[in-house]
Structure 1
């Protein structure tokens, strides 16, 4: 199987969907913990130069979350609901509070590749092609890649 060492981000040509995939030298359980433990999540999510403050975090099916990413005096809020938190999969909503009508439905899968490696696959369904394309133009790729690079370092250092 081909290894994905950088995040692959693709826009579906027929649906307002963004798909991402990346392989990690981690178990599915480690990646699940990195996505559900608020202290770990705050350390890796988002681009370099931003700090993340968890406002609310209830990582269970039916739970909700909110965090604020800050850089200097600028703050950016995000919130959502955990629809399903189960072994190998998270289904949640995601809203950037600067665009409150732009709610995405996200599914994350943690595929065990064996030998202590896991492929993280994510899919975000948004309400329109225009909304999807705005996300792609927003600098999302930088935040995703820099965040996952921090997560990889945390895994290598034994923090996850």
Structure 2
């Protein structure tokens, strides 16, 4: 399934990044795709195989995913800072490719009232160099591939 929506990535300061995406699914289903390990493994890594290595879904809990692709793998991890069911998820995010350069990501899930959900992620990086390094790493391309895999998953479930 090809989505009719695109992902918008903007910056307004030197350390932030705002990501917006609309999904053709109710908020409860989008939330489940973000918070249930068996669903996460089916879309999160651009549709590539993903191992959910650690999943402690509680405030202060640790998560770690490993994506397998092209004969290699990439690890990602963080800790949950705030969880408001079906509304907001705040967590740290670190990619093994840029160790010690974590961001704080706040995802809001907005019910558009017509069976669609708007996902808004505000990422705050420690430095401008961290933000720019993540943007230059192919983050936007990978994120768009992951959202396409999310769209396909939501269409099937």
> TM-score, length-normalised on structure 2?
0.91
Distance, in Å, in 2 between the alignment partners of 1:46 and 1:141 is: 13
Residue of structure 2 in register with 1:5 after alignment? 5
Count the aligned residue pairs: 153
Shift of residue 72, structure 1, vs aligned partner:
4.3
Which residue in the other structure is 1:150 paired with? 149
After superposition, what is the alpha-carbon deviation per residue over 1:24-66, rounded to whole angstroms, capped at 9, x for unaligned?
Answer: 1111111111111111111101335x32111111122221101
Normalised by the size of structure 1, how large is the TM-score? 0.90
In structure 1, the partner of 2:23 is 24
1:56 alignment partner in structure 2: 54
State the partner residue of 1:129. 128
Q: CA deviation at 1:94?
A: 0.5
Unaligned stretches of 5+ in structure 1?
A: none
Single out whichever of 71-80 and 118-127 deviates more from structure 2: 71-80
Of 145-154 and 39-48, more deviation after overlay is shown by: 39-48
Structure 2: how far apart are the matches of 1:53 and 1:101? 22
Distance 2:25 2:61 in 1: 26
**Residues 47, 142 of structure 1: 8 Å contact kept:** no
1:107-156: CA deviation from partner (whole Å, max 9, x where unpaired): 00000100111100001111111111111111111111111111111111
Give the Cα–Cα distance (whole angstroms) in 2 for the partners of residues 156 and 71 of structure 1.
24
Q: For 1:81-92, list aligned pairs within 5 A.
A: 81-87=79-85, 88-92=87-91
* Unmatched segments (≥5 aa) in structure 2: none
What RMSD over aligned residues (CA atoms) do the two structures have, in Å? Answer: 1.4
Secondary structure of the structure 2 residue equivalent to 1:114:
coil
Q: Which residue of 2 aligns with 1:45?
A: 44
In 2, the alpha carbon distance for the partners of 1:71 and 1:105 equals 26
Runs of 4+ aligned structure 1 residues displaced above 3 Å come to none
